[in-house]
Amino acid sequence: MKGFVPPPRLSLSSEPLPITRSITIPEGISVKDLAEKLGIRAKDLIARLLARGVFATVNQTLDSDLATDMARHFGAETAVITFEEQLAKDTVSAEGASEEGAAQGVVRPPVVTIMGHVDHGKTSLLDAIRSTNVAGGEAGGITQHIGAYKVAITDPNSPAFGREIVFLDTPGHEAFTRMRARGSKVTDIVVLVVAADDGVMPQTLEAIDHAKAANVPMIVAVNKIDKPEALPDRVKKQLADRGLMPEDWGGSTVFVDVSAKQKTNLNLLMEMICLVADLQDLKAVPDRLAQGTVLEAKLDRGRGPVATVLVQNGTLRTGDNFVVGNVFGRVRAMFNDRGVALDAATPATPVEILGLESLPQAGDQLVAVADREKARGISEYREGKAREAQLAKSSRVSLEGLAEQLKSAGQKELDIILKGDVQGSVEVLSDVLTKLSNDRVKIKILLRGVGAITETDVLLASASNAVIIGFNVRPERKAQELAEQEKVDIRLHSIIYELADEIKRAMTGLLEPIIKETYLGRADVRDTFRVPKIGTIAGCYVTDGVIKRDAEVRLLRDNVVVFKGKISSVRRFKEDVSEVRHGMECGISIANYGDIKVGDVIEVFVTERVAAEAFV
533 inside domain: yes
CATH number for position 58 = 1.10.10
135 inside domain: yes
* 330 and 463 belong to one structural domain: no
- Distance between the two ends of the chain, CA-based, in angstroms? 63
As a whole number of angstroms, the distance between CA 51 and CA 65 comes to 16
Boundary residue ending a domain (471, 488, 511): 511
87 inside domain: no
CATH number for position 141 = 3.40.50.300
* 318 and 403 belong to one structural domain: no
Q: Give the per-residue pLDDT at 102.
A: 44
CATH number for position 588 = 2.40.30.10
* 316 and 248 belong to one structural domain: no
φ/ψ of residue 149, rounded to 5: -155, 160
Alpha carbon 4 to its chain's center: 69
Element (H, E) at 385: helix 372-391
98 inside domain: no
447 inside domain: yes
CATH number for position 461 = 3.40.50.10050
- Counted residue by residue, the chain has a size of 616
Element (H, E) at 73: helix 64-73
* 449 and 358 belong to one structural domain: no
Q: Give the per-residue pLDDT at 285.
A: 83
Do the beta carbons of residue 513 and residue 501 sit within 8 Å?
no
90 inside domain: no
* 267 and 298 belong to one structural domain: no
* 454 and 600 belong to one structural domain: no
Going by C-alpha positions, the residue among 394, 395, 399 that lies closest to residue 416 is 399
* DSSP conformational letter for 354: E
Q: Give the per-residue pLDDT at 541.
A: 93
* 602 and 492 belong to one structural domain: no
Boundary residue ending a domain (281, 311, 326): 281
Mean pLDDT per 10-residue interval, the chain, length 616 residues: 57 63 77 84 84 79 79 80 66 50 71 80 79 44 58 77 79 57 71 85 81 84 84 85 83 85 83 88 84 81 84 88 85 85 88 86 81 76 69 58 59 81 76 79 83 88 88 86 86 82 71 68 91 86 89 88 88 86 90 88 83 35
* 277 and 420 belong to one structural domain: no
As a whole number of angstroms, the distance between CA 213 and CA 215 comes to 5
Do the beta carbons of residue 168 and residue 127 sit within 8 Å?
no
Q: Give the per-residue pLDDT at 505.
A: 75
328 inside domain: yes
Total domains present in the chain: 5
As a whole number of angstroms, the distance between CA 472 and CA 554 comes to 10
Q: Domain residues for 298?
A: 291-391
615 inside domain: no
* 272 and 129 belong to one structural domain: yes
As a whole number of angstroms, the distance between CA 567 and CA 4 comes to 95
* 443 and 522 belong to one structural domain: no
Strands 164-168 and 316-317: unpaired
Boundary residue ending a domain (391, 419, 445): 391
Q: Give the per-residue pLDDT at 546.
A: 92
Q: Give the per-residue pLDDT at 6.
A: 62
Going by C-alpha positions, the residue among 40, 39, 42 that lies closest to residue 56 is 42
Going by C-alpha positions, the residue among 546, 544, 519, 528 that lies closest to residue 590 is 528
* 116 and 252 belong to one structural domain: yes
* 371 and 439 belong to one structural domain: no
Do the beta carbons of residue 197 and residue 230 sit within 8 Å?
yes
Contacts 24+ apart (CB under 8 A), 141-146: 142/338, 143/338, 143/339, 144/169, 144/337, 144/338, 145/335, 145/337, 145/338, 145/339, 145/352, 146/295, 146/296, 146/308, 146/335, 146/336, 146/337, 146/350, 146/351, 146/352
